[in-house]
């Protein structure tokens, strides 16, 4: 499982950074990915990656500012050309449904797949598919902005293949039963207990992706004990007042949130166009004094989880 940053600029695109979008990519056997935000040009960024729109089955929007949603109509329309793409679930704040339905109506776009739009009013659970649970929390920005906490359910332990071979259990459907915690009976009548053949379950991973926000308690709550936190860092150190005025955070404030939340790793994104690469490196260095495991996102950066 990994994150692919498709856009990392704040407000407007630059020659080197597109506006916000992040893909959560699952292992190939799951054959799917999710998008978090879809700023203008996101589908062009997807074309430069290995991801295919037909494998996209969920989109999560943090807030309705253009640098987070202007790419959405193009993605929805282009997905029609991928045969067998199937149902698409779209999640986001109030206003998302009206925005999408208006664009589709006035552009006379026709989707050949089912689009299910979910709007939420505040904190709570967005969904739980049995493998992942997503919690939303409202942040502090100029418009209603949300963060997403993606919690993976505990994963079943590894099969003890050497033990199974010693018991004469051949690979096949019985292995699946053991992974589900069910005891099995071999052709000779002997029983293999799942507790003996499967190792301890692994703790699920936690990924927190926040929309635009000033430094706030809810951001820390959503990021509590996260394996990976993605936090905006629009402004540099010394511009705290400007950041607050526009509803944003600094590099240092993002580091403070990660530290207070007990997150393991922090990637900052949504970086102002005023900062060149060497400026970003310097800001990361300063913020690293507060939270050492911090790094800056850039377009097409991959982060394994």
Residue 65 annotated as lining a ligand binding site: yes
Between CA 33 and CA 230 the distance in angstroms is: 17
- The answer on 217 and 177 residing in a single domain is no
Between CA 302 and CA 280 the distance in angstroms is: 18
Q: Residue 40 has which token pair?
A: 């203008």
- The answer on 230 and 125 residing in a single domain is yes
pLDDT, mean of residues 155-184: 88
Residue 110 annotated as lining a ligand binding site: no
Between CA 101 and CA 2 the distance in angstroms is: 31
Q: What domain range includes position 260?
A: 2-155+202-304
Q: Answer whether residue 179 shows pLDDT above 90.
A: no
Give the end of a domain, one of 143, 170, 197. Answer: 197
- The answer on 137 and 98 residing in a single domain is yes
Q: Whose structure tokens read 């099969």?
A: 159
Between CA 19 and CA 27 the distance in angstroms is: 26
- The answer on 271 and 145 residing in a single domain is yes
Q: Whose structure tokens read 């809810």?
A: 218
The pLDDT confidence band at residue 22, using thresholds 50, 70 and 90, is: very high
- The answer on 230 and 283 residing in a single domain is yes
Read off the pLDDT of residues 265-286 as tens digits, 9 standing for 90 and up: 999 999 999 999 999 999 999 9
pLDDT, mean of residues 183-200: 90
Between CA 45 and CA 42 the distance in angstroms is: 5
Give the end of a domain, one of 197, 219, 247. Answer: 197
- The average confidence (pLDDT) of the chain is 95
Asked which of 11-20, 91-100, 197-206, 223-232 is least confident by mean pLDDT, the reply is 197-206
Q: Residue 231 has which token pair?
A: 């936090």
Kindly report the pTM of this predicted structure: 0.89
- The answer on 210 and 181 residing in a single domain is no
- The answer on 142 and 226 residing in a single domain is yes
Q: Whose structure tokens read 């029609």?
A: 80
For the chain, what is the domain count? 2
pLDDT, mean of residues 50-68: 96
- The answer on 172 and 98 residing in a single domain is no
pLDDT at 29: 65
pLDDT, mean of residues 79-93: 94
- The answer on 228 and 140 residing in a single domain is yes
Residue 248 annotated as lining a ligand binding site: no
* DSSP codes of every residue in 129-145: -SSEEEEEEE--SSS--
Read off the pLDDT of residues 252-267 as tens digits, 9 standing for 90 and up: 999 999 999 999 999 9
Q: Answer whether residue 50 shows pLDDT above 70.
A: yes
Q: Residue 167 has which token pair?
A: 């018991």
Contact 262, 229 (CB under 8 A): no
Contact 246, 274 (CB under 8 A): no
- The answer on 255 and 126 residing in a single domain is yes
Q: Answer whether residue 28 shows pLDDT above 80.
A: no
- The answer on 127 and 189 residing in a single domain is no
What CATH number corresponds to the domain at position 18?
Answer: 3.60.15.10
* Percentage with pLDDT > 90 across the chain: 84
Residues marked active site are found at 67
Give the end of a domain, one of 170, 197, 224. Answer: 197
Residue 68 annotated as lining a ligand binding site: yes
- The answer on 207 and 178 residing in a single domain is no
Residue 129 annotated as lining a ligand binding site: no
Read off the pLDDT of residues 223-245 as tens digits, 9 standing for 90 and up: 999 999 999 999 998 999 999 99
């Amino acid at each position: 499982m990994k994150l692919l940053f498709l856009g990392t600029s704040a407000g407007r695109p630059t020659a080197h950074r597109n506006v916000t979008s992040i893909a959560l990519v699952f292992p190939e056997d799951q054959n799917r990915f999710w998008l978090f935000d879809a700023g203008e040009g996101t589908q062009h960024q997807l074309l430069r990656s290995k991801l295919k729109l037909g494998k996209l089955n969920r989109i999560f929007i943090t807030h309705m500012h253009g640098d987070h949603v202007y790419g959405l109509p193009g993605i929805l329309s282009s997905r029609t050309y991928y045969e067998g793409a199937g149902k698409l679930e779209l999640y986001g704040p109030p206003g998302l449904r009206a925005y999408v339905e208006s664009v589709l109506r006035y552009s006379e776009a026709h989707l050949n797949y089912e689009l299910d739009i979910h709007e939420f009013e505040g904190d709570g659970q967005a969904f739980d598919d049995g493998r992942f649970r997503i919690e939303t929390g409202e942040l502090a920005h100029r418009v209603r902005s949300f963060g997403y906490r993606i919690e993976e359910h505990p994963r079943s332990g590894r099969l003890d293949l050497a033990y199974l071979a010693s018991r004469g259990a051949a690979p096949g459907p019985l292995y699946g039963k053991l992974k589900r915690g069910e005891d099995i009976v071999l052709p000779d009548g002997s029983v293999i207990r799942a507790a003996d053949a499967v190792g301890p379950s692994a703790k699920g991973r936690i990924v927190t992706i926040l929309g635009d926000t000033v430094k706030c308690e809810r951001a820390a709550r959503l990021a509590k004990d996260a394996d990976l936190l993605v936090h905006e860092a629009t402004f540099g150190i010394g511009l705290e007042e400007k950041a607050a005025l526009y509803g944003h955070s600094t590099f240092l404030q993002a580091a403070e949130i990660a530290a207070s939340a007990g997150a393991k790793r922090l990637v900052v994104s949504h970086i102002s166009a005023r900062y060149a690469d060497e400026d970003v490196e310097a800001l990361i260095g300063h913020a690293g004094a507060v939270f050492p495991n911090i790094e800056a996102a850039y377009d097409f950066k991959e982060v394994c989880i």
